[in-house]
Chain A
Amino acid sequence: MIEQIIFYFFAAILIISASMVITVRNPVHAALFLVLSFFSSAAIWLLLEAEFLAITLVLVYVGAVMVLFLFVVMMLDINLAPLREGFTRYLPVGILVAVLMLLFMALIVSSDSFNLNQAEGIKHAADYSNTAELGLILYTEYLYPFEIAGAILLVAIIAAIALTMRKSKTLKTPKPEQQVAVKREDRVRLVKMESEKRDT
């Protein structure tokens, strides 16, 4: 029973915060509500004993992706008025996309692999490690898809870095590695001088 109370609590927060994401005016508030909805969905995953996925969701999306997102949103001075224009014009397209999404989700969730006719989730013993189980299945059954996904991500990282590597020739940036490597002898010269005699 307590589990159900917890589930409905987080589900309510998830739905409220997700709808706030698209209705609040301030983009920073919207991003923070998105963080809250990630958080409550992670809590729901924890109830399903999927602790690895839940903690990774917090780590990757809340801890890294949304921080960068907020970073950009805060830096940009977004003019809100043009963003609000044409709400009724885009409404039919939006409804169409929403209905399609709902249809796809219903198709996927009702398929056999989700096992929705099973009323209760399978409970595991206390020594069951979700992380170890995921690792086992990823590196045996799904090894090739996993490796291919890794390779694609690596290519994406390298491409993103390559895009930012263009440098203007006129730009004069300091080279920290040279500056760090500087020794005292390069900068300071100790000069020994005879003390001069005062003319009397």
Chain B
Amino acid sequence: MFEFIRNNLLSPFVGSLFPASIEVQALYTLDALIKIIVILIPVLLGVAYLTYAERKIIGYIQVRIGPNRVGPLGLLQPIADALKLTFKEIIIPSGANKKLFIIAPILSLAPSLAAWAVIPFNDVAVLADINAGLLYILALTSLAVYGIIIAGWASNSKYAFIGSMRAVAQIIAYEIAMGFALVGVLIAAGSLNLGDIVRAQDGSLLHWFWLPLWPLFIVFFLAGVAETNRAPFDVSEGESEIVAGFHVEYGGMAFSIFFMAEYANMMLISILTAIMFCGGWLSPFQGVPFLGEPSIIWLLMKTSFFLFLFLWFRATFPRYRYDQIMRLGWKVFIPITIVWLVVVSVLVVAQIPPWFD
């Protein structure tokens, strides 16, 4: 895209307005900005329609119809919700810490959008093809907790504070298991670059990492569900106990930004699971003509499947009790991942086919 802009759109200006070096920098910036928009708009639309999908799917699971009033099949429902939330007043409680109260939702949305920078959509389409992609993802997902902790504290409300304390303890616990699962992927692929991780799974359905890394795959996805504070791990919102948890004092756009952050995080976890364990953009029918072609469509289908699992879990499981959440994180997931790291290392060193030969 950079070459395209330079050669076609801006060719009359090259070298004439500014020194060439600044012009190249400016073009790179413009190129990056266009790519950011091309990635972010589908992500935000996806967030909006994920809420619609959630209400429809959970509706059908519970033998209801779900939203069907606004537009055909209720398809304009997310737009109506967004409009409503935009025009609502943001109420700042009198005892709240005003600056932090405003900053908190921004801090929770920004990392979950910034993480999309390193996601590869196919062999070439990636905004920042950096070496340490996996580390970057891990660092940014660990930042999302600041929005929650600051929101809980700045609201000056008991419910919000309890909610944020629960969320923080839970996210810290599950982040370790998640990190260890990523270390397993790193050992198996021999690279921190997400594109290289997908390329290491090339071959067939059985070459994908879900098979040799099965326990890590399960642990990563469930830790992801816990990390995004989704049911059955949604004790930080726990409607029946602490009203709405950390965002109980928020309304209007401030609330909807928390909401968007949660759904953007769900999409991020799903696409990461698809990339690291299910072959990313690779086709499950490799070798078959046409169907075997690698494509972004496969990536989106895999991501949608994991998103569906998020919604399915929410409709199926009752909320975990808090001590059981802690036990699952510290005493079950972390030992499983540590044991499987040893197993993966042995597999890699022994060069076991078909994955590591």
Contact = CB atoms under 8 A, between A and B. Distances in A.
What class of interface size applies to chain B in its complex with A? 20 to 34
Interface stretch (A15-23, A51-59, A106-114): A51-59
Interface residues of A, number: 28
Contacts of B192: 131
Interface string B175-188: 10000000000000
Contacts of A59: 135, 138-139, 142
A55 B142 contact: no
A121 interface: no
A130 B131 contact: yes
A55 B327 contact: no
A4 to B, nearest CB: 13
Contact of A55 (B132, B165, B171): B132
Given A62-B143, A70-B149, A180-B324, A131 B25 contact: no
B139 A55 contact: yes
Contacts of B171: 67
A176 interface: yes
B142 A176 contact: no
A71 B142 contact: no
A47 interface: no
Nearest to B144: A63
Contacts of B143: 58, 62-63
A200 to B, nearest CB: 43
Given A51-B131, A71-B168, A177 B142 contact: no
A2 interface: yes
Contacts of B119: none
B178 to A, nearest CB: 11
Nearest to A179: B324
B3 interface: no
Interface string B129-148: 01110011011001101100
Contacts of A177: 327
B139 A67 contact: no
B357 interface: no
Interface in A61-84: 62-64, 67-68, 70-71, 74-75
Given A63-B175, A176-B324, A179-B324, 15 more contacts: A28-B153, A32-B150, A52-B132, A55-B135, A55-B136, A58-B143, A59-B142, A62-B143, A63-B138, A63-B142, A67-B142, A70-B153, A131-B192, A132-B131, A176-B321
Interface of B: 25, 100, 130-132, 135-136, 138-139, 142-143, 145-146, 149-150, 153, 161, 165, 168-169, 171-172, 175, 192, 321, 323-324, 327
17 contacts: A51-B131, A56-B135, A56-B139, A59-B135, A59-B139, A62-B143, A63-B142, A63-B143, A64-B172, A68-B172, A70-B149, A70-B153, A71-B169, A129-B132, A131-B131, A131-B135, A176-B323
